[in-house]
Structure 1
């Protein structure tokens, strides 16, 4: 029960806490971990973000900054890929390092699982270019500047 409670509190803190305080709590948590555990976190950061290529387990402030940024972007992105025992220790240590408003936490609901990034609409190819806003603007501008002779027109049919 305690690991689930700490995971929920950790998600609350990632979503609501001030960035500097959250980074400081992560720095403290990573400072408590062994070098091998920090190496696992570094590997997770490198696997799940496009950053931290030169990051070492001894660069705790940079590690904390990257983990906070990744977790804020997509909650659980880095830490859920860690071994469960390490994940539980990081959650518990970060939660212990911070204070928060219990009333706000009680009213807080975590984001729905499976919330993905917004998917762009499917491209319909060249058939839809006449409906494209930039194309229409450019076409109209060319027609105004150079007359109807200056505008490329698609053949019908």
Structure 2
């Protein structure tokens, strides 16, 4: 049984996350855009106003298993999600995110957006579950196609 808790992302949690394999679909999403999580994730997180993570305590040694961050510019928040390769925790992380995080994130900006890869089916299901709607045609970034999804608070 896994025990996942949500906390602020700190330097040690980021280093822990990057020391474990990233979910293959998430890694491909980054690589197709010409990005490397090891090199590019820290800079992206530095620009965010809200950076949180999910930590799994079930194995006795806590492990950072997912990160999300929101950056805001001109009233639009951009949400980024990345997970480790722990498929057994996807539902648990989703439940914990739903419990408190989503309500908090919606307060950060009246409009939220994200750009998941059209190939990353888990991310597409995730953002659609939280009420994001696809907008426009997919954008080509690097060698990947990314769909803009938008959530507007009501």
| Shorter-chain TM-score range | under 0.3
Higher helix share: 1
Q: TM-score, normalised by structure 2?
A: 0.27
- Highest Rg: 1 or 2? 1
TM-score by length of 1: 0.27
Higher strand proportion, which one?
Answer: 2
